[in-house]
A and B are shown apart, each in its own frame.
Chain A
Amino acid sequence: MQQLTNEQLDNLARDLDAIRDEVMADVGERDARYIRRVIRTHRALEIGGRAMLPFGFLPPLFIAGTASLGIAKILENMEIGHNVMHGQYDWMNDPSLHSQTYEWDTVCTGDSWRYTHNYEHHTYTNVIGKDRDYGYAVLRLSDDVKWHPGHLLQFINFTLLSVFFQWGVGLHELETERMRRGEIKLSDKREVLRDLMRKGGRQAFKDYVFFPLLTFPVAPIVLAGNIGANLIRNLWASNVIFLGHFTEDAETFSEDMLEGESRGQWYLRQLTGSSNFTGNKWMHILSGHLSHQIEHHVFPDMPAHRYREIAPRVQKICEKYGLHYNSASFASQYKTVLRKVFHYSLPDRIRTRLQAA
């Protein structure tokens, strides 16, 4: 990990706090208008998608309907749900946009997400053993986890996690890896399980039962469209999230670093544990601005569309302290993620030889 003196860390915290204070003092009508516009777009896409799919026996309408519903789910999960639940819009005092009560269009319950993501992941970012989002307990992405032959097949896990991402995230708080190790029992997680069944049931009922049956004669077409829409969202969301922390240059940390961690050290961990990808305006919006994962991790409750505006200043601060600002195109970041998943599926001896080559 990149080392800074205590004085540098204090200055780093002061520089970043200055950006935060400046932006937060300016937050207001523009941000409210922005998120309302995104929500309107989401409603239009969802209503449009669901209205088109019953006519999906015409191939163009099937494609348009599925895409429209898929993009609606992406917008709702990434730019609305994720960001609202971070408290980015709590200042608006609008009960439909309140971080602690928002419920989103995916299997994972809002409460479970607020705990595993907002608290665990954002507080203990990339701390192996504390941040369960690092590898989602199904991927080996660092040599802190001891290799065993099962890891050879982790590309299968990687693919399954992408395809069924909403269910993976939903199951996350169950901590099945700890159950396997016998540290906890299923009965310890009774409430989590109950909420998961309720929310998972609700999502499955809506997309796989209710809307297909509503349009009975064409039910299979609507069902296929809904499955397609969920798949589009799963693939996109999972990959955006993998790109945020699983890239090769994103650093990991050990638990002892948390002891007495200063604000400057916390900032440093967020800056060096996250990675950005570049793209056009729509790439940013559809990723919920997690394309600016670095900015998101230093300022998780700042309205996300502001990340694009402050990114050059955050990059300058990184340069000032000699920190690596990890940013590249989607494709090249994705390549490093795949390489990492592949490398760590191998025994350490072979991996180190490969990496050295």
Chain B
Amino acid sequence: MLSVFENNSAMRWLGKQLFNREDPAAFFDPILSIINPMMVRGLTPARVEAITHAARDTKTFHLKPSPRWSGFRAGQHININVEIDGVRCHRTFSLSSAPAQWEQDGTITLTIKRLPGGKVTNWLHDRLETGTVVGISEAFGEFDIPNVEQPLLYLAGGSGVTPVLSHLVTLADQDYRAPVTVLYYVRTQADEIGAETLRALQARWPALTLVIHRTDEDGPSALMNEAHLEQVPGIKARHCFLCGPPGLMDLAQDLLGRFGIREEQISATFFTAPTPVEVSEPLGGEVRFAGSDVTVESEGDAPLLEIAEAAKLNPKHGCRMGICHQCSCRKTSGTVVNRLTGKASGPGEETIQLCISVPQGDVEVDV
């Protein structure tokens, strides 16, 4: 019912007048969230239906999004939005289930590995309970199955296999005839994500060739090398999908290049968790003002406001001493040190005050 404030332009205008906000339907969220959190409008709610073990330190979260969520293509990701100690946190994860499953029973799955020291992944593992409602974004990403049937090669490492699982189930359901080879690199058998699904696919879908390399158990020959790729028949004609940690991705790109595979034959997807800078890292760094498309180098303890002004930008500001928040804006990546408290921020997206934030390493802000 509240969707009229979103979809009908006259009602949207009226809602803005009555509730003083750009998203008038969300005005009622504080009340709706206690009646039934699946009714809120400010974000797209999804209920946690089940949480299952997937591999060592890895769990699969089965979610049922609200009916207004618009679905996804195999290989896409979503942002999941949870509140940890009062702070709303967003993280991006690949969907590990196939779109057909969502069409059938309305559920999707995220398969998530604990990151050592990771605030969100550890919270999801330790605190998230079945029945809780979390926020999700619409799906995004271009890690798509090719439109035209052609031979495929997947090079996946660790938890990078999750979008590949979504692809493979979808391809098998289509009865994809062209050869599909999956080279999956994991440390040990206990780290194999989706092992059962992969084995089941192998049994029912003749086009699939699955090779799992356990780098800690099978000796040095299990590390990705030319010999692995030489065994892939007709590799030159294949479209290649890469998904895994950055080291593996770089190596794979390099090897594929040696086999004469062109850039446009390769689709890659990865997002590494941003890592906090070392405490000892010196102040200053490369600052990118994304909104104005300006990048400058900074040194020493110059705050972002002064750096922006030196670069001839004129961001909104006031007191220049950290009290009035006129200069608050989004930092999209990087670490800054708060001049008043001396504390370093997290590495991810958050609101900062330009006049008292000193970059520590490379930083990107929305100015």
Residues of A whose CB lies within 8 Å of any CB of B are 17, 20-21, 24, 27-33, 36, 39-40, 43-44, 47, 85-87, 90-96, 98-101, 103-105, 114-115, 118-119, 122-123, 202, 205-206, 210, 263, 266, 300-301
Contact = CB atoms under 8 A, between A and B. Distances in A.
9 contacts: A32-B86, A43-B30, A96-B42, A114-B326, A122-B319, A122-B324, A123-B318, A123-B321, A205-B17
A105 B18 CA distance: 9
A98 B23 CA distance: 14
A100 B83 CA distance: 21
Contacts of A43: 27-28, 30-31
B148 interface: no
A93 B87 contact: yes
B324 A90 contact: no
A24 B28 CA distance: 30
A85 B324 CA distance: 9
A103 B17 CA distance: 11
B30 A123 contact: no
Given A32-B86, A105-B20, A119-B318, A100 B341 contact: no
Contacts of B326: 100, 114-115, 118-119
Interface string B316-353: 00110101111011000000000011000000001101
Contact of B87 (A24, A28, A47, A300): A28
B21 A103 contact: yes
Nearest to B84: A29
Contacts of A90: 325, 328, 351
A82 to B, nearest CB: 12
B86 A29 contact: yes
Decide if the interface of chain B is mainly helix, strand, loop or mixed.
mixed
A253 to B, nearest CB: 16
A93 B89 contact: yes
A92 B318 contact: no
Contacts of B89: 93
Interface of A is mostly: helix
Most B CB contacts (10 A, CB to CB) among A21, A87, A91 go to A87
A162 B134 CA distance: 45
Interface in B77-97: 83, 85-89
Given A93-B88, A103-B20, 15 more contacts: A20-B341, A29-B86, A30-B86, A31-B86, A32-B83, A40-B30, A40-B34, A90-B328, A91-B86, A105-B20, A118-B326, A123-B319, A123-B323, A202-B16, A301-B323
Contacts of B341: 20-21, 24
A176 B328 CA distance: 29
Nearest to B31: A43
A142 B245 CA distance: 68
A315 B22 CA distance: 42
Contact of B17 (A28, A93, A101, A210): A210
Per CB-CB distance, the 3 closest pairs between chain A and chain B, nearest first, are A32-B86, A119-B318, A87-B325
A98 B86 contact: no
B183 interface: no
B27 A92 contact: no
A119 B31 contact: no
Interface string B221-246: 00000000000000000000000000
Nearest to B316: A100
B26 interface: yes
Contacts of A210: 14, 17-18
B78 to A, nearest CB: 18
Contacts of A91: 86-87, 351
B93 to A, nearest CB: 18
Contacts of B21: 96, 103
Nearest to A201: B17
A39 B17 contact: no
Contacts of A85: 325
A115 B318 contact: yes
Interface in B282-339: 318-319, 321, 323-326, 328-329
A138 B83 CA distance: 46
Contacts of B30: 36, 39-40, 43
A100 B367 CA distance: 14
B27 to A, nearest CB: 7
Contacts of A21: 341
Contacts of B28: 43
A206 B31 contact: no
B17 A206 contact: yes
A324 to B, nearest CB: 23
A28 B42 contact: no
Chain A CB within 10 A, most for which of B18, B88, B323: B323
B324 A118 contact: yes
B45 to A, nearest CB: 15
A270 to B, nearest CB: 9
Contacts of B29: 96
A85 B325 CA distance: 8
Contacts of B86: 27-33, 91-92
A101 B31 CA distance: 22
A29 B89 CA distance: 13
Contacts of B340: 17, 20
